[in-house]
Structure 1
Amino acid sequence: MADAATPPKGKTPRYMQVAGELREAILADRYADGKQFPTETALCRQYDVSRFTVREALKRLQAEGLIARKRGSGTVVQPAAARGGALHQPLSNVGELLQYARDSEVVYSERDSGSLPQHVAEQIGENTDGTWRRFRGVRRQTPDTAPIAVTDAYFHEKLGDAVDKLDLAAGTLFSQIERTAGVTIGRVTQDIQAIAADDRIAKFLEIDEGDPVLRIVRCYLDPKSSAYEISVSHHPGDRFAYAMHIDLDS
């Protein structure tokens, strides 16, 4: 097998690569409409890896809320409506972030690099020193529909040349960084605030200056609580909806 328990320095662990490919398949609905999720044995054959590697990959997807593993029933994909998790901040379940992106499309372009803008750093409340590369994308349901968000994504210099490997037309960037840089998400914080659109945001979203928008600032931190990616998204007030399902313990 091409499996390796301890990958060379700088190389993404094999279980994270497997988790990344399975995550993309789930979000693309390849296991929807009652299609059976592969067994551990089938996944070992498909990716030419050990059972340990497959189990670590599945643990990661389960922690993200994308799958459920039940004794005697195997692995099942969680329905989209069940991926939001419980109401909490900071976020520990990234399934809801992925759920938002699955039914829309965005293409990013690189803008500039330098220190994180002061107004963003103040929102984060974490150490944001260093150089950040900024990418911008406008998200739509389809190419001919009105924008539902404009996002600035910032990547820290510590990620090195992994940022150069991003597929800017592939949508969600943070799952790509996880694979290409070998970085693990330890925590995601999120700040949501209703504001009035300035002239720049209004133009991107095709709305009037002063119209209400939701600003969502997300900060992705590694297990050592070091920030490596930050996204700042603006959503038109009349084009944003968020549904959450909360199960209360009896």
Structure 2
Amino acid sequence: MSSEPEHDKNAPLRHADVHATLTRELADGRFPVGSRFPNEEELQKRFQVGRHTVREALKKLADQGYIDRRRKSGTVVLSNEPAVRYIQLLGTISNLFDFGTHTELKVRSFGFVRLRDPHLCELLKLPPDERWLRIAGVRMQPDNPAPLCWSEYYLPPCYAISREDLDRLVGPIYAQVLKRHGLQLDHVDQEIGSTALRANASALLQVPRGSPALTEVRRYFEGAGALMEATINLYPAGRYVVRSRIERQSDIKSAQ
């Protein structure tokens, strides 16, 4: 039986058709993990499509964690099933808003706490022994049973929200704070590092204790310069990808 997608014989194949066929073949084991995956020219010839169509299909496979495209060594098969990971585009505030909209927070803890952990205070750059609202839980993606990350949100009392507000929340927490207090977001500081997951976090994230994880800390500042939220997200290895675009400054361009 042919694995080619069903389509109008007179209509050209779209990248979605090529992607669907390759996805089925990966799931069936036609391309074993660790093996070389067909290159662009081979796929163009096989499907009788243009380079753009093939590149779009390959890009989607790479985003889903099926393949790894390497400039010099070619494309390698990473998995026969899609990876549980989230692609985060960074460049504007709206990109941060997308994360809170496209994922759902399953709250495990809500209440005011005293910041007594020196490591946590140093990580979030918060003064010790102050009273902050702590919201903690796991972030989930639609149609993915495995949690994406463990998230902790810290809000000062002046910007705290109620549990009822949280239950009705659509989108990120910081957006609710801005709306409630009539504020504008000025900037967000972000730091990315790594750690080994402790027992409680690893159990909730369904990975072994001590598993490597990406640590993402964000600090949200409103227009007057006050810190309105500090957040830490812990992502098990392979579940989160940060993608950004870096361009030359105009003065550098003009000098060349």
- Where 2:136 maps in the other structure, the secondary structure is strand
Alpha-carbon distance in 2 for matches of 1:127, 1:182: 26
* Alignment CA distance shift 1:242-1:224 (3 Å): same
The answer on whether the counterparts of 2:101 and 2:170 sit within 8 Å (CA) in structure 1 is: no
Deviation at 1:238, TM superposition (A): 1.6
Structure 2: any 5+ residue segments left out of the alignment?
A: 1-86
Which position in structure 1 is the counterpart of 2:203?
Answer: 203
**What secondary structure is seen at the aligned counterpart in 1 of 2:210?**
coil
Note the alpha carbon deviations across 1:172-212, whole angstroms, 9 max, x for none.
11111110122332221112111111111101111001111
* Kept after mapping to 1: 8 A contact 2:103/2:142: yes
Residue 123 (structure 1) shift: 1.6
Summarize the alignment of residues 32-43 of structure 1 with structure 2, pairs less than 5 Å apart: none
Aligned twin of 1:105: 104
Q: Distance in 2 between matches of 1:223 and 1:128?
A: 25
Match in the other structure for 2:124: 124
Secondary structure of residue in 1 paired with 2:247? coil
CA distance in 1, matches of 2:125, 2:201: 23
Q: Which residue of 1 aligns with 2:136?
A: 136
Partner in structure 1 of residue 172 of structure 2: 172
Structure 1 counterpart of 2:83: none
Q: Where do residues 180-219 of structure 1 align in structure 2 (5 Å cutoff)?
A: 180-219=180-219
Percent of paired sites with the same residue: 21
User: How much does 1:121 deviate?
Assistant: 1.6
Cα distance in 1, alignment partners of residues 130 and 88 from structure 2: 38
Q: Is the 8 A contact 1:213 1:236 kept in 2?
A: yes
Q: CA deviation at 1:115?
A: 2.2
Measure the CA separation in 1 of the matches of 2:123 and 2:90: 23
Distance change (3 Å), C-alpha of 1:129 and 1:159: farther
Secondary structure of 2:166 counterpart: coil
The residue type equivalent to 2:208 in the other structure is: D
Give the structure-2-normalised TM-score. 0.55
RMSD: 2.7
Matched residue SS, 1:150: strand
Determine if the alignment matches structure 1 residue 115 to structure 2 residue 114: yes
CA contact (8 A) 1:165 1:180 kept: no
State the Cα deviation string for residues 36-68 of structure 1 (Å, max 9, x = none): xxxxxxxxxxxxxxxxxxxxxxxxxxxxxxxxx
Tell me which stretches of 4 or more aligned residues in structure 1 moved more than 4 Å.
Answer: 126-129
Q: CA deviation at 1:106?
A: 2.1
Unaligned runs of 5+ in 1: 1-80, 86-92
Cα–Cα, structure 1 residues 213 and 110, in superposed 2: closer, same or farther, change >3 Å? same
Query: 1:54-73 alignment to 2 at 5 Å?
Result: none
Greater gyration radius: 2
Distance 1:156 1:134 in 2: 9
Q: Is the 8 A contact 1:155 1:228 kept in 2?
A: yes
- Residue 84 in 1 paired to residue 83 in 2? no
Counterpart in the other structure of 1:223: 223
Give the structure with the larger strand fraction. 2
Q: What's the counterpart of residue 232 of structure 1?
A: 232
Paired with 2:205 and 2:89, the residues of 1 have a C-alpha distance of 27
- The aligned counterpart of 1:149 is 149
The answer (yes or no) to whether the contact 1:140–1:148 under 8 Å persists in 2 is: yes
